[in-house]
Amino acid sequence: MRGRSRWRNFAKRGHCVRSRKPLPVVVRACAKLNLDLTVLGVRADGFHDLRTVFQSIALHDRIECEPREGPFAIECSTVGVPLDESNLIWKAADALWRSLGRRGPVQDVLVRLEKRIPTQAGLGGGSADAAATLAALARVWQMAASPEDLADVAGTLGADVPFFLSGGTALGLGRGDEIDPLDDWPRHWVVLLVPGFGVSSREAFGWYDAWRDGGGSPPERRPDMVPGPWPPGTVRMMNDLEGPLAVRYPEIEQMKAALRGAGAFASAMSGSGSTVFGLFRARREAQAAVDALSGSDWTVILTESLTRSEYARQCRPVTRRRRGAATGVDGNSSVAATGENQFRSYATPVRRQGSRR
* pLDDT tens digits, one per residue of 214-265: 876 656 667 777 878 888 878 889 999 999 999 999 999 999 999 999 999 9
Band of pLDDT at residue 352, cut at 50, 70 and 90: very low
Cβ contact 196:356 at 8 Å: yes
**Total number of residues shown for the chain:** 357
| Mean per-residue pLDDT, 138-159 | 92
Between 142 and 284, the more confident residue is 284
Q: Kindly report the CATH number that applies to the domain delimited by 186-304.
A: 3.30.70.890
Q: What average pLDDT does the chain have?
A: 86
Q: What angle do CA 237, 242, 243 make, to 5 degrees?
A: 115
Band of pLDDT at residue 20, cut at 50, 70 and 90: confident
Band of pLDDT at residue 323, cut at 50, 70 and 90: low
Q: Are strands 25-42 and 299-304 parallel, antiparallel or unpaired?
A: unpaired
Percent of the chain scored above 90 by pLDDT?
71
Q: So what's the pLDDT on residue 228?
A: 81
Q: What amino acid is encoded at 289 in this protein?
A: A
Q: What angle do CA 200, 172, 216 make, to 5 degrees?
A: 55
Between 132 and 340, the more confident residue is 132
| Mean per-residue pLDDT, 301-310 | 98
Return residue ranges of the chain for CATH 3.30.70.890. Answer: 186-304
Cβ contact 133:150 at 8 Å: no
The DSSP secondary structure of 298-313, one letter per residue, reads SEEEEEEB--HHHHHH
Q: So what's the pLDDT on residue 15?
A: 56
Question: Can you name the residues that pair with 110 across neighbouring β-strands?
Answer: 66, 73
Q: CATH fold of 1-183+307-323, please?
A: Ribosomal Protein S5; domain 2 (3.30.230)
91 catalytic per annotation: no
Check 160, 177, 224, 240 and give the catalytic one: 160
338 pLDDT more than 70: no
Question: Can you name the residues that pair with 322 across neighbouring β-strands?
Answer: 325
Check 32, 91, 115, 256 and give the catalytic one: 32
185 pLDDT more than 80: yes
Return residue ranges of the chain for CATH 3.30.230.10. Answer: 1-183+307-323
